[in-house]
Amino acid sequence: MTGRILVVGSLNADLVVRTERFPRAGETVSGGDLSIGAGGKGANQAVAAGRLGGDVSLVGAVGADANGELLRAAVSDAGVDIATVSVRDGVATGTALITVAADGENTIVVSAGANATLAPADLTDDALAGAAVLGLCLEVPVATVRDAAERGRAAGVTVLLNPSPFGPAARELAPLADVLLVNEGEAEALLGVVEGAVASDPSAVRDGFAALGVRRAVVTRGGDGCLVVDGDAEPAHIPAVRITPVDTTGAGDAFMGALLLRLADGDDLLAAARFAAGVGAFAASRPGAQASYPTAAELRAFRA
């Protein structure tokens, strides 16, 4: 049994269209049928951990509409406690417009909707009490993320921050995280280093994080695996699990959900990241976001 996982974050209805390639500026391309699925970074991360057997609660907000009902049901079906997912009148549920190309890469445009209403007061002391780890992303207001991180650390909860969608707030919030999860481009932007520095000079990357007040971080690098920074130790590289990508939508959130799970279970950061790499690969080998996330049994079969 893992420690309790608390996620404060977004819930979005994912509107997905598949196409051979992304359109250029001003261009129209043909796509396949429109599908509507459950997504949002916060919900995705909670569902990924819940499907793997974690004890997970989600703090978030949806609109009083059909998409909100769909999202609450999907998260609950994954075993996540949705008692603190609020239903807001007069505002639409958050929506993500997703295009998936033939090579599995995606583009995403998010309309925040009810996610923009999530306030510090929505995270109650009762919800925070007893949590082992707290997962945060930036699809909800920065003030809410900052408050949750500060209160989590004060309560002795391990705070895992994924500062995505990436922007200026990442530098402000990074020192509040016990563990920072970023992709390679985000790390380079955050540290002000040249492209390729994560691969070519991991020690400088570690030192750059330390200068920001970040002692522990995981930098994901897609098909090149990930880099784990843990204190003063030499950063460690974890190779990617080799797959044929089908759809990378939500694979990063699957990685974070798995990282939350194993940190809550007491794993060190390197072991947790190694496990998460397998979960992210599983997700990228199947279509959809939450629909692609494995149960523990499915993951064992995948890794066998």
Residues at the annotated binding site?
12-14, 40-44, 139, 183, 220-225, 247, 249, 252-253, 283, 286, 288, 292
How far apart, in Å, do the first and last CA atoms of the chain sit?
23
The binding site for K(+) consists of 247, 249, 283, 286, 288, 292
Partners of residue 137 on adjacent β-strands: 162
The binding site for ATP consists of 183, 220-225, 252-253
253 is catalytic: yes
Contact 94, 112 (CB under 8 A): yes
The binding site for substrate consists of 12-14, 40-44, 139, 253
Q: Strand locations in the chain, DSSP E?
A: 4-8, 12-18, 35-39, 55-63, 85-88, 94-100, 106-111, 131-137, 158-162, 179-183, 216-220, 226-230, 236-238
Identify the active-site residue in 253, 265, 267, 268: 253
Q: How far apart are CA 120 and CA 27, in angstroms?
A: 42
Q: Which of 237, 199, 225 is nearest to 277 (CA)?
A: 225
Q: How far apart are CA 142 and CA 119, in angstroms?
A: 10
Q: How far apart are CA 276 and CA 282, in angstroms?
A: 10
Please list the active-site residues: 253
